[in-house]
Structure 1
Amino acid sequence: MKLNIVAAASLAMSLTVLTACSTTPDQAAKQQWVNLFNGENLDGWTIKFKNKPVGENYNNTFRVENGLLTVNYDNWQADEAGLFGHIFTNSVYSDYRIRVEYRFIGEQLTDNPKLAWAYRNNGVMLHSQSPQSMELDQAFPISGESQLLGGDGNNPRNTGNFCSPGTNIVKDGQLITKHCIKSNSATFHGEQWVWFEAEVHSSGKVKHFINGELVLEYDELQIDPTDPLGAKWLQAGNPLKLTAGHIALQAETHPTQFRTIQIQPLN
């Protein structure tokens, strides 16, 4: 039985939004980074996989190994590859910086050419709906995805891109309905660690940084009313603009490790 996104939608935005008190830019820059991942367990996070109930860590995919939050596929069969999953913060955030240190490891779960796009592919979902408000068979939460990609050893492949599960953005004054927009980042091959950071505002303005370099910026993160889930979200009385939400990390068939996940409140 599907979770009713209309009935559950109000749950996502009824949670307390965590922001800083009013600060100057200098004060904000001095605020402490707060660890969202404690290096020991998954406390403070909730998991949701497609076709699985909220809270089920299917095949023990998300786990802590040697102090790293790891997306691991050693318990999976290749034909299960379409059961994408996400791990969500329990708290909702509005104005903040989020930074993660990540790397791709090992081999992709499947060599199915239909999932070639998921090779060395993960993401940080910004202003995301809650896992409780997702439908049972929903693959991706409504959110703004900061897409993390690893290189194949030969070809250029930007990371820190934007993708749009159920959302649109405004860039350079124009409404953008294209699913993914590339950043101008370098390509990172192999299993090297990479820093991704996003500056996220309640106005919907977002900046992406890779290893400290600005690689993409856009405005007015908002619901796509032409998307079936987006349309349901709006029909439930939620606003067009996304001003707050959860943060989530993905499981999209390629093993990934995170050794730092931190947030810094802004105003």
Structure 2
Amino acid sequence: MKNSFFTALIALLTVTLANAQTRSLFNFKNFNGWHIDVPAMDNNSGAKNPFIIRNGMLVSLADPQGHIITDSVYKNYRLEVEYRFAGKPGNCGVLVHASTPRVLYGMFPKSIEAQLMHKNAGDFWCIGEDISVPDMEKRRGPQKNWGSVDGKERRIKNLTDDSEKPVGEWNIMRVECLGNEVKVWVNGDLVNHGFNCTVSQGQIALQAEGSEVEFRRVDFTPITKLTN
């Protein structure tokens, strides 16, 4: 009985310690710890900021297009993002291992994107960086077309398109980055697992692109192993 008690206590302390390491990357009050990179705002003082805080949530208004990017660089972590398309379904994304700004289309930073686009959540998009998955030709197209620049096959399709909830309901995307691997879950379903990534650390970014998206959680947890 005593051994069972101590086993349960150790398990509880382990979970508590793990949870204590989890923190929000966004305070939902201001943009501390982040910066905004929106090309349309460079030389136009009247251009609106597509990122706002509304009702205690971070909101991407979609237009003008751009990114909100962490000031800090991260590696070996779990990121949980709770999001929903507020009305009209569309496009958005979570970028990991971001570095050089505006390497693609004068807007996208060098990175690996975990797609949030409605009905395509969990796709990888290679933006100046690359990553491999099983069944590459089936999910990316002919090898001769692969690449991470404009004109190349940069999209790697996810494993399932039926993991998202209906528009207006909240979804949870979990992205785990460890070494040269990246795993993505949507609402508990494993939707992508990449390896041989050309980068293992970088900033984290959220997009303004396509449709209004609300974020009510952006949680970060350091990890030493990937979830099975």
Pairwise TM-score range, normalised by the shorter structure: 0.7 to 0.9
Question: Quick one: which of 199, 210, 216 aligns to 2:176?
Answer: 199
1:244 counterpart (198, 201, 207):
201
Aligned match of 2:90:
120
- Tell me which structure has the larger Cα radius of gyration: 2
CA distance in structure 1 between the partners assigned to 2:219 and 2:32 by the alignment: 14
Amino acid at match of 2:70: T
With over 3 angstroms needed to count, the CA separation of the structure-2 counterparts of 1:32 and 1:182, relative to structure 1, is same
**181, 185, 209: which one aligns with 2:185:** 209
Match of 1:142 in 2: 110
Pairing partner for 1:221 from 194, 197, 202: 197
- In structure 2, distance between residues paired with 1:173 and 1:213: 19
Closer, same or farther: CA 220–99 of 1 in aligned 2, 3 Å: same
CA distance in 2, matches of 1:99, 1:84: 23
Could you say which residue in structure 2 is the equivalent of 1:182? Answer: 157
Q: Rate the CA distance shift 1:136–1:146 in 2: closer, same or farther, 3 A.
A: closer
**CA distance in 1 between partners of 2:20 and 2:184 (Å):** 19
Query: What's the offset of the Cα at 1:124?
Result: 0.5
Aligned to 1:264: 221
Q: Which amino acid aligns with 1:145?
A: E
Structure 1 distance, partners of 2:193, 2:65, is 27
Q: Which amino acid aligns with 2:168?
A: E
Q: TM-score, normalised by structure 1?
A: 0.65
Distance of aligned partners of 1:189 and 1:245 in 2 relative to their CA distance in 1, 3 Å threshold: same
The total of aligned residue pairs comes to: 194
CA RMSD of aligned residues (A): 2.7
Q: Is 1:66 paired with 2:66?
A: no
Structure 2 gap segments, 5+ residues each = 1-13, 141-145, 147-152
In the TM superposition, structure 1's runs of 4+ consecutive aligned residues that sit over 2 Å from their partners are 26-32, 50-54, 133-137, 172-178
TM-score (norm 2): 0.75
Identical counterparts, % of pairs = 34
Q: AA paired with 1:90? A: D
